[in-house]
Structure formats: structure tokens, C-alpha cells
């Protein structure tokens, strides 16, 4: 496919410069000129889609507990910014609805990584698909819904078949074509540090886009782009800027 989306995107909203998966991170990425962001999506205990990476709360909020067992009213009270510095104190775990609205307001494209807690794969995928369809209705560029979970992507496809999907892997497997075909994906997302030029070229020759994460070194970024990689997600927003691919 011809990749119509930004080629450099801010990982988890604001890369390493802001508390991940927060509205502040998305605002920061946009303020630096990034036209695309990636963030993680999980369901709270009451089924609210929220932006968070880990299944547990400790790392980014200091609280104890599991996201999937905590209702959003409780998650909303937690501080998801202080761990990154006093500047970010008081930043909250945002809902997908609020993050999507902010992306639309800022004109920022989104790669939504569906990151379900164990046992919640289908529910998370279905919720992501339904809400993404609503939030990006009429948008020039729809978000790409990506996931490591086949079940989550199947549910997202059932809920919103028109939205593009990407399959996430660490290292590209020998049978990479099978899941891309069965899930009707537009892109394969892989660990940039484990990418191989011949495989990247094979995937692209088959008509799929390739997205690499998390690429923080300019030399690696130039190499991957030279191999034909369509999109890079980076934490190093101050080193690999939004126009790096040009």
C-alpha cells in the first residue's frame, strides 16, 4: 500500500519528553510538529477505554492494582504525571474519548495500539473499533488500529471493518503473511532493532506497509527508511523530528 499517514510518529504521545499515554504527551508531540502519535489502549474495570501501557498501575501512577479491575472513577483520581517530574504533576489517565477528541482538535493522526489486559482481548478490540469509528467520523485520515492480539484485531474488524488495521510483532516471523491476510491488515508493525532488510522488502512488495518501533537513534532511523520502512515510532522527539524522513 501507499502509506498515507505521517512517517515519523511520537511514541506513546510525547516520546521520552512527557509522561506517556497522557493528554499532555499528545499536546507536547503536536507542539513539536509531530503530525502523528501512537498510544496504548486498555479497558478499565467498568469497561471504559483508557490510555495506559501496563496492566498494573505501579509504574506510571505509584498506585497498586490492576487496570482491568479498577473502575475509571478511581483511575481518574490517580496522578499519571508526577513520576516524570514536578512539571507534570496532576496529569491524569485519559479516556480514549478525550484523547481522540484532542487528536482531532490538534489535527494529529493516531496509531491506536489495542493493548488488552489478559482475558479482555475481544472486549477491548470491539470497544476500540466502535469508539474509533465514532471519534474519527468524517476525518481525512482514519486511525490505524494495531495490536499483538489476533483476537483483539478480529473484534475490532467486526466492530468497525472500514478502519485500517496493523498487526504487531516483535521479530517478523516466517509466516508473516498469514495473519496479515486473515486479519485484512494494511500494515505490519515490528521491533526496529530486529528488522531485516530482505524481509522488510518482501512485506512491502506484497502490498503491506511496515511500521518500526521504537527507533531512537538517527543512524538506525536512516537505515530503516532506506530499506523502505513506511513509518517510525520514536521516543527521541528532540533528535528524530517530525520531518526526519524528508
The residue from 6, 8, 11, 143 that is catalytic is 11
112 alpha carbon, distance to own chain's centre: 4
Tell me the three state secondary structure of residue 136: coil
120 is catalytic: no
Query: What confidence score (pLDDT) does residue 87 get?
Result: 97
The residue from 17, 53, 141, 193 that is catalytic is 53
Query: What confidence score (pLDDT) does residue 83 get?
Result: 97
Q: What does pLDDT average to in each consecutive run of 10 residues of the chain (246 residues)?
A: 95 98 98 98 98 98 98 98 97 98 98 98 98 97 98 98 98 98 98 98 98 98 98 98 96
Domains of the chain: 8-43+96-234 (3.20.20.190)
53 is catalytic: yes
Burial of 46 (0-12, 13-18, 19+ CB in 10 A): exposed
7: left (phi over 0), alpha (psi -120 to 50) or beta: alpha
How many whole angstroms separate alpha carbon 73 and alpha carbon 35?
A: 31
pLDDT tens profile 183-207: 999 999 999 999 999 999 999 999 9
**Cβ proximity of 43 and 120 under 8 Å:** yes
Dihedral over Cα of 15, 1, 161, 101: its sign: positive
pLDDT tens profile 201-229: 999 999 999 999 999 999 999 999 999 99
Query: What confidence score (pLDDT) does residue 130 get?
Result: 98
How many whole angstroms separate alpha carbon 188 and alpha carbon 231?
A: 10
Amino acid at each position: 500500500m501507499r502509506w498515507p499517514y505521517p512517517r515519523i510518529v511520537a511514541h506513546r504521545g510525547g516520546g521520552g519528553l512527557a509522561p506517556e499515554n497522557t493528554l499532555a504527551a499528545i499536546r507536547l508531540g503536536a507542539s513539536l510538529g509531530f503530525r502523528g502519535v501512537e498510544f496504548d489502549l486498555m479497558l478499565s474495570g467498568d469497561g471504559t477505554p483508557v490510555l495506559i501501557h501496563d496492566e498494573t498501575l505501579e509504574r506510571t501512577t505509584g498506585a497498586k492494582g490492576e487496570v482491568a479491575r479498577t473502575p475509571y472513577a478511581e483511575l481518574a483520581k490517580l496522578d499519571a504525571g508526577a513520576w516524570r517530574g514536578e512539571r507534570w504533576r496532576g496529569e491524569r489517565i485519559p479516556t480514549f474519548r478525550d484523547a481522540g477528541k484532542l487528536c482531532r482538535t490538534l489535527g494529529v493522526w493516531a496509531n491506536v495500539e489495542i493493548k488488552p489486559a489478559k482475558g479482555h482481548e475481544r472486549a477491548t478490540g470491539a470497544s476500540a473499533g466502535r469508539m474509533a469509528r465514532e471519534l474519527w467520523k468524517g476525518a481525512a485520515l482514519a486511525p490505524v488500529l494495531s495490536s499483538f492480539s489476533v483476537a483483539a484485531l478480529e473484534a475490532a474488524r467486526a466492530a468497525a471493518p472500514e478502519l485500517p488495521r496493523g498487526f504487531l510483532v516483535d521479530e517478523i516471523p516466517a509466516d508473516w503473511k498469514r495473519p496479515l491476510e486473515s486479519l485484512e491488515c494494511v500494515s505490519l508493525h515490528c521491533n526496529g532493532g530486529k528488522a531485516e532488510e530482505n524481509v522488510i522488502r518482501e512485506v512491502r512488495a506484497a502490498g503491506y506497509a511496515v511500521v518500526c518501533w521504537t527507533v531512537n537513534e538517527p543512524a538506525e532511523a536512516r537505515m530503516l527508511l532506506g530499506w523502505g520502512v513506511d513509518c517510525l515510532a520514536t521516543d527521541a522527539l528532540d533528535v528524530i523530528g517530525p520531518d526526519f524522513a524528508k
